[in-house]
Amino acid sequence: MDDGFRGRWLLPDGVATGRVRVAGGRIAGFEPEPLDDDGWWVPGFVDVHVHGGGGGEAMDGVEGVRALAAAHLPHGTTALFPTTLTAPWPEVLAGLRAIAAVLHEDAMAAANEGPPERRAAVLGAHLEGPFVSPQRLGAQPPFAIDPTPDRVAAVLALGVVRVVTLAPELDGAEAAAVAFARAGVRVSFGHTVADAATAERVAAAVERAGGVLGATHLFNAMSGMTGRAPGVIGAVLGDPAAFAELIVDGHHLAAASVRAAFAAKGARLMLITDAIRATATTATASTLGPHAVAIEGGAARLSDGTLAGSVLTLDVAVRTAVAMGVPVEAALRAATQAPAAYLGLADRGRVAPRAHADVVRLDAGLNVRSVWRAGVRVA
Ligand SMILES: [Zn+2]
């Protein structure tokens, strides 16, 4: 069924030329073969932090989730975690239920072995807010609340959240972090004013509970790092087990910060989009939750100039990272293998036997030429 999967491949442990065999929608094997190829075959990108795209937003309900998953597919993203916004509590739970409904649709389609949907697979939700600091909302709407045991239980009962952004200084944050970690939910520090000691205390609790720690858009919306006040940035950079997200759109971070993060975190650095609904559209005016957003020069901002998520797609993030001096292989792994490892997904983000045959063909300039899901061309 596969005839064309030949070329230069990004494999789990290196780069090699050859041919990938596909059977039953999964990778069956790799046969090395000397070939000339200046393009790339890579695993489909995995986005662990994405609010919207194609006019849709995760908080819109089922149609919004489907729209954003479709919008990111032609840009090489074959799996993603729709991300909620800080909002009144009932709206947050409704957003999570809609993500669960689309996840269920995808799972049913896969079980029936029908053709893959022309959208990225929805693998779970990222709950970004409301368990965040009211002092570091960034562009998040002002509905921050504490992670009480009842609220944590309500989230876990839905069974769809795989990543939670949490400000570790909030009342109840440590108990909440432990409960999330025990349930397999990744605890991601973000939208926080915590000092390093607070972050390290909660990080240690997560790790004792067998959990995995992350950082939500490292550097943005968190306490900064200086020599005697290392903040959440220092706590995360200094923890070899912690993963970190990065928004590499050319607006959120300077090139030196991007290179420093890659140097410190290595295989645990993840490119994300933090994309809003205007992503992959031509809109110049849009919304983020209740806020009006203007899009100009590839940046989305509130009226006061605050960056409001991004209009980034992961293909652009990879190219921007490379333009900033990140090695190509490292940038590609940060969009594929690293997020899959963060989420404990053995069959995504890597070209290896039994993994989903979700692959992307890139040209020499890292532009997406074609996208395949389950061995079927979908873009
Ligand atoms: Zn976000």
What confidence tens digit (pLDDT) does each residue in 233-272 have? 999 999 999 999 999 999 999 999 999 999 999 999 999 9
Question: Is residue 299 a part of any domain in this protein?
Answer: yes
CA of 274 relative to ligand 1 center, distance in Å: 5
Question: Is residue 9 a part of any domain in this protein?
Answer: no
Domain total of the chain: 1
Backbone φ and ψ for 41, nearest 5 degrees, come out as -105, 130
pLDDT of residue 183: 98
Question: Is residue 19 a part of any domain in this protein?
Answer: no
pLDDT of residue 38: 96
CA of 113 relative to ligand 1 center, distance in Å: 33
Residue 28: pLDDT above 50?
yes
Question: Is residue 142 a part of any domain in this protein?
Answer: yes
What confidence tens digit (pLDDT) does each residue in 156-191 have? 999 999 999 999 999 999 999 999 999 999 999 999
Question: Is residue 376 a part of any domain in this protein?
Answer: no
pLDDT of residue 115: 82
Residues annotated catalytic, as ranges = 274
Single out the residue of 230, 233, 209, 229 nearest to residue 220, CA to CA.
233
What's the Cα-to-Cα distance from 240 to each of 213, 229, 268, 329, rounded to whole Å? 10, 19, 9, 20
Residue 3: pLDDT above 70?
no
What confidence tens digit (pLDDT) does each residue in 60-76 have? 999 999 999 999 999 99
pLDDT of residue 112: 83
Residue 7: pLDDT above 90?
yes
Q: What is the mean pLDDT of residues 138-160?
A: 96
What confidence tens digit (pLDDT) does each residue in 315-333 have? 999 999 999 999 999 999 9
Range of the domain at 100: 44-345
% of the chain at pLDDT higher than 90: 93
CA of 50 relative to ligand 1 center, distance in Å: 7
100, 160 in Cβ contact below 8 A? yes
CATH code for position 230 = 3.20.20.140
pLDDT of residue 42: 98
Q: What is the mean pLDDT of residues 338-350?
A: 97
Half-sphere exposure of 355 (CA within 13 A, CB side): 27
Question: Is residue 379 a part of any domain in this protein?
Answer: no
pLDDT of residue 1: 40
21, 28 in Cβ contact below 8 A? yes
Residue 4: pLDDT above 80?
no
Cα dihedral 347, 352, 353, 359, rounded to 10, equals 70
Res. 135 pLDDT band, cuts 50 70 90: very high
Residue 299: pLDDT above 70?
yes
Res. 2 pLDDT band, cuts 50 70 90: very low
217, 246 in Cβ contact below 8 A? yes
CA of 352 relative to ligand 1 center, distance in Å: 31
* Sheet containing 213-215, strands listed edge to edge, beginning at the edge strand earlier in sequence: 125-128, 161-166, 186-189, 213-215
Q: What is the mean pLDDT of residues 39-52?
A: 98
CA of 180 relative to ligand 1 center, distance in Å: 19
Question: Is residue 359 a part of any domain in this protein?
Answer: no
CA of 276 relative to ligand 1 center, distance in Å: 8
Q: What is the mean pLDDT of residues 215-232?
A: 96
CA of 207 relative to ligand 1 center, distance in Å: 24
% of the chain at pLDDT higher than 70: 99
As a whole number of angstroms, the distance between CA 377 and CA 256 comes to: 37
As a whole number of angstroms, the distance between CA 249 and CA 272 comes to: 10
What's the Cα-to-Cα distance from 367 to each of 164, 171, 196, rounded to whole Å? 31, 46, 39
pLDDT of residue 48: 98
CA of 25 relative to ligand 1 center, distance in Å: 32
Mean pLDDT of the chain, nearest integer? 96
pLDDT of residue 113: 78
As a whole number of angstroms, the distance between CA 54 and CA 67 comes to: 6
CA of 230 relative to ligand 1 center, distance in Å: 23
**pTM, full prediction:** 0.97
